[in-house]
Protein backbone atom coordinates (compact mmCIF):
# COMPACT_ATOMS: atom_id res chain seq x y z
CA UNK A 1 0.00 0.00 0.00
CA UNK A 2 1.26 3.47 -0.85
CA UNK A 3 -0.53 6.66 0.16
CA UNK A 4 -0.06 9.49 -2.34
CA UNK A 5 -0.52 13.11 -1.25
CA UNK A 6 0.02 15.69 -3.99
CA UNK A 7 3.74 15.57 -4.81
CA UNK A 8 4.85 13.00 -2.23
CA UNK A 9 3.86 9.56 -1.02
CA UNK A 10 4.10 7.37 2.04
CA UNK A 11 5.09 3.79 1.33
CA UNK A 12 6.33 0.84 3.37
CA UNK A 13 10.05 0.94 4.11
CA UNK A 14 12.11 -1.75 2.41
CA UNK A 15 15.61 -2.93 3.20
CA UNK A 16 16.69 -1.36 -0.10
CA UNK A 17 15.68 2.05 1.33
CA UNK A 18 18.10 1.84 4.24
CA UNK A 19 20.99 3.64 2.55
CA UNK A 20 18.84 6.73 2.07
CA UNK A 21 17.09 6.35 5.44
CA UNK A 22 20.50 6.31 7.12
CA UNK A 23 21.58 9.47 5.27
CA UNK A 24 18.45 11.24 6.55
CA UNK A 25 18.95 9.85 10.04
CA UNK A 26 22.58 11.02 10.16
CA UNK A 27 21.68 14.48 8.91
CA UNK A 28 18.66 14.75 11.20
CA UNK A 29 20.02 13.52 14.53
CA UNK A 30 23.18 13.84 16.57
CA UNK A 31 22.75 10.28 17.90
CA UNK A 32 21.29 8.13 15.14
CA UNK A 33 19.82 4.70 14.91
CA UNK A 34 22.06 2.07 13.33
CA UNK A 35 21.25 0.13 10.20
CA UNK A 36 20.80 -2.93 12.41
CA UNK A 37 18.05 -1.26 14.42
CA UNK A 38 16.15 -0.38 11.23
CA UNK A 39 16.63 -3.93 9.90
CA UNK A 40 15.30 -5.33 13.18
CA UNK A 41 12.23 -3.08 12.97
CA UNK A 42 11.48 -4.22 9.42
CA UNK A 43 12.08 -7.87 10.35
CA UNK A 44 9.83 -7.52 13.42
CA UNK A 45 7.03 -6.22 11.19
CA UNK A 46 6.79 -2.82 12.88
CA UNK A 47 5.00 -0.18 10.84
CA UNK A 48 8.04 1.17 8.97
CA UNK A 49 7.30 3.88 6.41
CA UNK A 50 9.21 6.24 4.19
CA UNK A 51 8.10 9.58 2.86
CA UNK A 52 9.13 9.89 -0.77
CA UNK A 53 9.26 13.11 -2.78
CA UNK A 54 10.09 13.05 -6.50
CA UNK A 55 11.37 9.46 -6.12
CA UNK A 56 13.67 10.49 -3.25
CA UNK A 57 13.28 9.26 0.34
CA UNK A 58 13.16 12.42 2.46
CA UNK A 59 11.68 11.06 5.68
CA UNK A 60 10.78 7.98 7.66
CA UNK A 61 8.70 6.83 10.60
CA UNK A 62 8.71 3.70 12.76
CA UNK A 63 5.70 2.62 14.84
CA UNK A 64 5.29 -0.34 17.15
CA UNK A 65 1.75 -1.48 18.04
CA UNK A 66 0.85 -4.07 20.67
CA UNK A 67 -1.91 -4.64 23.23
CA UNK A 68 -3.94 -1.63 22.10
CA UNK A 69 -1.05 0.81 22.41
CA UNK A 70 1.27 2.32 19.83
CA UNK A 71 4.76 3.70 20.34
CA UNK A 72 6.10 6.14 17.79
CA UNK A 73 9.75 5.13 17.90
CA UNK A 74 11.34 7.26 15.20
CA UNK A 75 10.29 10.21 13.07
CA UNK A 76 12.77 11.92 10.77
CA UNK A 77 12.56 14.46 7.97
CA UNK A 78 15.75 15.38 6.12
CA UNK A 79 16.84 18.81 7.42
CA UNK A 80 16.67 20.33 3.91
CA UNK A 81 12.96 19.46 3.81
CA UNK A 82 12.02 20.62 7.32
CA UNK A 83 9.74 23.59 7.86
CA UNK A 84 7.36 22.63 5.03
CA UNK A 85 4.77 20.74 7.09
CA UNK A 86 6.11 17.32 6.09
CA UNK A 87 6.94 16.36 9.69
CA UNK A 88 3.35 17.09 10.70
CA UNK A 89 2.05 15.03 7.78
CA UNK A 90 4.36 12.14 8.69
CA UNK A 91 3.32 12.15 12.36
CA UNK A 92 -0.38 12.38 11.44
CA UNK A 93 0.09 9.51 8.98
CA UNK A 94 1.76 7.39 11.68
CA UNK A 95 -1.11 8.17 14.08
CA UNK A 96 -3.54 6.96 11.42
CA UNK A 97 -1.48 3.75 11.12
CA UNK A 98 -1.87 3.32 14.88
CA UNK A 99 -5.64 3.75 14.56
CA UNK A 100 -5.83 1.23 11.71
CA UNK A 101 -3.95 -1.22 13.96
CA UNK A 102 -6.61 -0.72 16.66
CA UNK A 103 -4.39 1.23 19.06
CA UNK A 104 -6.30 3.21 21.66
CA UNK A 105 -3.38 5.50 22.47
CA UNK A 106 0.03 6.40 21.13
CA UNK A 107 3.18 7.33 23.02
CA UNK A 108 6.54 8.83 22.08
CA UNK A 109 9.67 10.29 23.65
CA UNK A 110 11.20 13.62 22.74
CA UNK A 111 14.28 15.47 23.94
CA UNK A 112 13.42 18.57 25.99
CA UNK A 113 16.06 20.36 23.90
CA UNK A 114 14.10 19.57 20.71
CA UNK A 115 11.58 22.36 21.15
CA UNK A 116 10.47 22.32 17.50
CA UNK A 117 9.47 18.64 17.72
CA UNK A 118 7.87 19.13 21.14
CA UNK A 119 5.72 22.00 19.84
CA UNK A 120 4.74 19.94 16.79
CA UNK A 121 3.62 17.01 18.95
CA UNK A 122 1.77 19.35 21.31
CA UNK A 123 -0.07 20.98 18.38
CA UNK A 124 -1.19 17.52 17.20
CA UNK A 125 -2.69 16.76 20.60
CA UNK A 126 0.07 14.98 22.52
CA UNK A 127 0.32 15.69 26.23
CA UNK A 128 3.31 15.32 28.52
CA UNK A 129 2.77 12.34 30.80
CA UNK A 130 6.19 11.65 32.27
CA UNK A 131 9.94 11.86 32.13
CA UNK A 132 12.50 9.13 31.44
CA UNK A 133 15.63 10.27 33.20
CA UNK A 134 18.96 9.96 31.38
CA UNK A 135 17.22 8.38 28.39
CA UNK A 136 19.10 9.89 25.45
CA UNK A 137 22.84 9.96 24.86
CA UNK A 138 24.25 13.44 24.44
CA UNK A 139 27.64 14.97 23.81
CA UNK A 140 28.09 15.51 27.54
CA UNK A 141 26.44 12.77 29.62
CA UNK A 142 22.80 11.94 29.03
CA UNK A 143 19.58 13.87 28.42
CA UNK A 144 16.15 13.14 29.84
CA UNK A 145 13.22 12.27 27.58
CA UNK A 146 9.79 13.77 27.87
CA UNK A 147 7.15 11.06 27.46
CA UNK A 148 4.14 12.26 25.50
CA UNK A 149 0.86 10.48 24.94
CA UNK A 150 -2.25 10.93 22.84
CA UNK A 151 -5.57 9.14 23.21
CA UNK A 152 -7.01 7.87 19.93
CA UNK A 153 -10.76 8.13 20.32
Active-site residues, by number, are: 109, 121
Q: Label the pairing between strands 105-110 and 127-137.
A: unpaired
CA–CA distance, 137 with 56 (Å, rounded to integer):
30
Nearest to 58 by CA among 30, 25, 16, 91: 25
Nearest to 58 by CA among 95, 14, 93, 90: 90
CA–CA distance, 18 with 62 (Å, rounded to integer):
13
Amino acid sequence: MAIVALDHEFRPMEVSDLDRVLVNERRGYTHQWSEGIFRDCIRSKYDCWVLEYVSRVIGHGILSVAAGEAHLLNVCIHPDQQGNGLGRQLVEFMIECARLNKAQRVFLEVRPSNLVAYKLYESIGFNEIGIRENYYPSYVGREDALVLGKELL
